[in-house]
Amino acid sequence: MTPSTSNPPNPPNAPNPPDAARTFSIGGEHRVNRLGFGAMRLPTGPGPEREAAVAVARRAVERGVTLIDTAHLYGWGANEELLAEALHPYPDGLLVTTKVGILRTGPEGWAYDARPESLREQVEQGLRRLRTERVGLLQLHRIDPEVPVAEQIGALRELQREGKIGHIGLSEVTTEQLAEARRTAEIASVQNRYNLFEREHEPVLEACEAAGIAFLPWRPVAVAADSGGSSALAAVATELGATAPQVLLAWLLARSPVVLPIPGTASLAHLEENLAAADLRLTDSQRRLLDRAAAPDRSAGRD
């Protein structure tokens, strides 16, 4: 997954070579560009905001995004419907992944629900909203503490056998939960919160690296909890002529070849800014500076 060592090194901030280092094969089937798009922030109401959201989704695909993340939780299905409106019929090579396992319990309430019969209903509803008969990657949004893990994953495995799910993923899991899930089915992806300043899931990322599992960090762009992290980030951004969010995304892309960031936005300008991060290259010294400034004992993040 890395360029040949026989090639001359690229200078700092030079575009990455157009090879496998910029892509990842999810489940051995879906080769996607590693910098994806998270659709959660797209507004789903009527009017000009919806038109703008459709334009952002379409522009992302025009700019080469081949991995888009959504979920039943986002607008309680409205986000999936928006993506179908914007992108269906889906172009070849585009992987739209969704998540299930959380249901609304009232106007403001929600709860985990990964009972097998509920998961089946949620998946089938999602397929209808996305206007497709098969979702290439279906992720369990959270492990339901009231249902045995084997039953939850087993239900998704059955839907996979029926051809309604291509590959199974997890979200916000521990290494122990990942290992337990893998005893029931092959796991193609993990989506945990992870960024330069929030790295408590480092062991999960390492487990994904060892197994060749895609790691999709949610909240990929975060802010430093102290001046040390902010100063280091600003210094590297200045050296590269980039923005702080671009540096944070570049750091994730450099962290591991299995990392597939999915930054989200409802702004065309921010979309272009995010996608430009794929062409940033951090030097070893810049990475060391960022890592030191964001050591786990002095890091945090917020929305």
Backbone φ, ψ for residue 112 (5° rounding) = -65, 140
For 68, the token pair is 């888009």
**Residue given tokens 């999602």 in the structure block:** 126
| Amino acid identity at 46 | P
Q: Is 194 a catalytic residue?
A: no
Query: Nearest Cα to 214, choosing from 66, 25, 36?
Result: 25
- Opening angle at CA 21, ends 181 and 32, nearest 5: 60
Read off the tokens for 39.
């659709």
265 touches 56 (CB < 8 A): yes
Cα dihedral: 172, 146, 114, 201 (round 10) = 10
Set 74, 90, 112, 194: catalytic member: 74
Residue pair 139/171 in contact by the 8 Å Cβ criterion: yes
Catalytic center residues? 74
